[in-house]
Each structure stands twice: as structure tokens, then as C-alpha cells.
Amino acid sequence: MMLSVENLTVSYDKIKALHGLNFQIDEGEIITIIGANGAGKSTTLKAISRLVPVGKETRMTYMGKDMLSYPPDKVVSQLGISHVPEGRRLFGNLTVMENLKLATFARKDTAGIKRDLERVFSIFTRLKERSTQKAGTLSGGEQQMLAIGRAFMSARKMMLLDEPSMGLAPLLMLDVFDALREINREGTTILLVEQNARLALQFAQRGYVLETGNLVLEGTSEELLNNPEVKKAYLGG
């Protein structure tokens, strides 16, 4: 088991957003958490990245280490977990290249950085053409590519993805998911949260369904795709 989350609770201003989630991810897997807007999907990812405080009863272990003793920057630089946040959140005042380089801030392996940069540019050729352009001037699709590329540069063991399909045209969306599958094939474990449940379940091997802060269902993607309740609530009948 790579990541194990037990009894995850998160509260915002004393209102509980997550009511004790339990889930595990094995190395090399693609896992998805699907759910409606406001169910707590982003909060779950932020809790793993240590960007929001978790409740006292929460336990999180990653490769046998207690994650709760790591500050957010060390989760990236020491544990190797990167996070593509909701809405991409690129540094619009920095160039494409600077965005990618900043993500390697804590890395010392110059040769590895160079190799990864070439890899990003080979997966997303558009980024190479735009490398000296300010990130704020990119189109929505290019921004999503850069957000994923930036995560790829920062850490590679596990990638947390928050709604990568948002705002993308269907064709671009497929490109992005193809790229993610390739990244996974090269050894990166992926945890994806999505409102687009069909897309997410077609992409992942296993999934969880999150409803108002509780995980209500889990199973293989096939099981969930064929589950009548999932069909009704998330797949449009």
C-alpha cells in the first residue's frame, strides 16, 4: 500500500467538510474520487497535500511514513506527491519555463531535471513553443498542460489531480488524459478527483464516490460504471 488514509476529517470554521474518510491507494494505480460539486473532493486532495489542517483522529501514512509530520512543501519535495490544483493556479506573471523551473526548486538532480523538462516538452509540444511566454497569456488547454507539466517537474511518485477536465474542449480533454495515462505508465500513481464521472471512471482502475463529506461507495471502475445508483446520480441515467 502506498497511501493509506484513515478517518480523514476536515473542518472549515467548525463546519465539518469531511466526516471520516477511509481509502487506500496502491503503487502504480489510477484512482478516482467522483462526486458532486461541494462534496469535498478538493478538500480531500488539500488534506493529503497538508494545505488544510486535519482532525485529531485522522491518520495518514505514505510509504510507511506518518504524513502528518510533513509541512506542505516537504510533502512535495521529500514524499514526492505533486498536486495539480483546482483552476490550475499557474503563476501568470512568470513565463512557461519559469513555472516549470520553479517546480524544481527543491530538487538537486540537475540531470534529472533536464530529462524531465525534455519529457514534459515531448508530451506537451505546445509548451515548448510557448516557453518564453507569460503563463497568463496561454489558452485554457495550454494552461492545463502547463499545470500538469509543472506537477510532473515537482514530484513524480504520486500526482493528485483536481478536475483537469474543467473548461477543456472534448478533444483537448482526451489529449490531456492520454498524457496522464502515459505519465502513469512511466510509474506515477494518480489520484484524480472529477465531476465528470464518466470520463474519470473510464480513465481510472478503481473509484470512490464522495457525497457531502462521506465516501458512500467504492469499487472497480467497471463496477461503478454499472452501478444503478451511480448511473442515476452521476452518469446521466
Partner 1 sequence: MANILQNLVNALQWGSFYALIALGYSMVYSILMLFNFAHGDIFMVGAYIGFGVATGLVALTSMGAIVLPNWLILVLTIIISMFLTSFVGMLVERIGYRPLRDAPRASAAITGLMIGIILETGNLALLGAQRVSFPPLINSVTYELGGVYITNKKIMIVFVSIGFMIALQLFVTRSKWGMAMRAMAYDYVVVPLMGVSINNIARMTFAIGSALAAVAGILFGIAYPVLDPYMGILFGWKAFVAAILGGRGSIMGATLAGFLLGFIEIFVAMIFPSTLRDLIAYSIVLLILVFRPHGFFGEPYSAKLRL
Tell me which residues touch partner 1 (CB under 8 A): 42, 46, 49, 51, 71-73, 76-77, 82-83, 85-87, 89, 91-94, 98, 101-107, 136, 150-151, 154-155
| Complex with partner 1: residue 101 or 126, whichever CB lies closer | 101
Inter-residue contact 229 to 235 (CB < 8 Å): no
Amino acid letter for position 191: L
Shortest distance, CB of residue 96 to partner 1, whole angstroms?
Answer: 13
| Complex with partner 1: residue 138 or 197, whichever CB lies closer | 138
Shortest distance, CB of residue 101 to partner 1, whole angstroms?
Answer: 7
Record the cell numbers describing residue 177, joined without a space.
488524459
Shortest distance, CB of residue 74 to partner 1, whole angstroms?
Answer: 8
Record the cell numbers describing residue 152, joined without a space.
510532473
Q: Which residue in this structure is represented by grid cell 486532495?
A: 45
Q: Give the residue among 44, 47, 90 at the shortest CA–CA distance from 193.
A: 44
- With 0-12 CB in 10 A as exposed, 13-18 as middle and 19+ as buried, what is 157? middle
Shortest distance, CB of residue 209 to partner 1, whole angstroms?
Answer: 23
| Complex with partner 1: residue 86 or 218, whichever CB lies closer | 86
Shortest distance, CB of residue 196 to partner 1, whole angstroms?
Answer: 21
Shortest distance, CB of residue 88 to partner 1, whole angstroms?
Answer: 9
| Complex with partner 1: residue 72 or 167, whichever CB lies closer | 72
Inter-residue contact 145 to 126 (CB < 8 Å): yes
DSSP letters for 119-135: HHHHH-HHHHHTTTSBG
Shortest distance, CB of residue 75 to partner 1, whole angstroms?
Answer: 8
| Complex with partner 1: residue 91 or 223, whichever CB lies closer | 91
Phi, psi of 69 (to 5 degrees): -90, 5
| Complex with partner 1: residue 105 or 182, whichever CB lies closer | 105
- With 0-12 CB in 10 A as exposed, 13-18 as middle and 19+ as buried, what is 111? exposed
What is the distance between the alpha carbons of residues 95 and 101, in angstroms, rounded to a whole number? 10
In three-state secondary structure terms, 107 is coil
| Complex with partner 1: residue 190 or 201, whichever CB lies closer | 190
